[in-house]
Amino acid sequence: MTTYYDGGSGTPTTEVPTASAWGASTALPRDEFTGDLVCTALTPVTHDVLDVTLRAADGGTLPYSPGQYYTFTFPGLGPGGEGVDRCYSVSSAAAVTGGGVEELTITVKRVPGGPVSAFVHERLRVGDTLRADGPYGVFGSDVRPGAGALYLSAGSGITPFLSMMRTRAVLLEKGERSLPLWSSVVHVHAAHSPADLVHRVEVMGLSDRHETTVIPVCSADSPAEAWAGVRGRLTAQKLAVLVPDLMEREVLVCGPTAFMEAVVAMVVDLGVPAERIHLESYVFGEKPRVPVQASAGVFSIEFRGAGRTVSCPAGTTILAAAREAGVAHPSSCAEGVCGTCRATMVSGEVDMDHQGGIRPREVREGKILPCCSVPRTDIVLE
* Nearest-angstrom CA–CA distance, 61 and 301: 39
Pairing state between β 249-255 and 148-154: parallel
In the complex, the smallest distance separating the C-beta of residue 292 from ligand FES, rounded to whole angstroms, is: 14
What are the helix and strand counts (H, E) for the chain?
Answer: 7, 20
Could you say which of 87, 337, 350, 368 contacts ligand FES (CB under 6 A)? 337
- From 97, 203, 101, select the one nearest 151 (Cα to Cα): 203
Q: Is 87 in the site for ligand FES (CB under 6 A)?
A: no
Q: Is 318 in the site for ligand FES (CB under 6 A)?
A: no
- From 236, 202, 230, select the one nearest 218 (Cα to Cα): 230
In the complex, the smallest distance separating the C-beta of residue 246 from ligand FES, rounded to whole angstroms, is: 33
**Long-range contacts of residues 285-292, Cβ cutoff 8 Å, at least 24 apart:** 285/333, 285/334, 285/335, 286/257, 287/260, 287/335, 287/355, 288/264, 289/335, 289/353, 290/353, 292/351, 292/353, 292/372, 292/374
Q: Are 100 and 68 in contact (CB under 8 A)?
A: no
In the complex, the smallest distance separating the C-beta of residue 162 from ligand FES, rounded to whole angstroms, is: 25
Q: Is 340 in the site for ligand FES (CB under 6 A)?
A: yes
Q: Report the site for ligand FES in 349-368 (rule: CB under 6 A).
A: 357
Could you say which of 50, 312, 338, 381 contacts ligand FES (CB under 6 A)? 338
Q: Report the site for ligand FES in 3-62 (rule: CB under 6 A).
A: none
* Nearest-angstrom CA–CA distance, 50 and 123: 12
Residue closer to ligand FES (CB basis): 180 or 285? 285
Residue type, 9: S
Q: Which one of the spans 29-37, 275-283, 300-308, 333-341 is the region binding ligand FES (CB under 6 A)?
A: 333-341
Residue closer to ligand FES (CB basis): 24 or 328? 328
- How many chain residues touch ligand FES (CB under 6 A)? 13
* Nearest-angstrom CA–CA distance, 152 and 262: 11
Could you say which of 333, 350, 368, 379 contacts ligand FES (CB under 6 A)? 333
**318 — alpha (psi -120 to 50), left (phi > 0) or beta?**
alpha
Residue closer to ligand FES (CB basis): 266 or 372? 372
Q: Is 281 in the site for ligand FES (CB under 6 A)?
A: no
In the complex, the smallest distance separating the C-beta of residue 241 from ligand FES, rounded to whole angstroms, is: 40
Q: Report the site for ligand FES in 110-149 (rule: CB under 6 A).
A: none
Look at the alpha carbons of 38, 44, 48, 51 in this order and tell me if their dihedral is positive or negative. negative
Look at the alpha carbons of 219, 221, 225, 229 in this order and tell me if their dihedral is positive or negative. positive
Q: Which one of the spans 39-47, 232-240, 263-271, 337-345 is the region binding ligand FES (CB under 6 A)?
A: 337-345
Residue closer to ligand FES (CB basis): 3 or 212? 3
Rule CB under 6 A: which residues touch ligand FES? 331-334, 336-341, 357, 369, 371
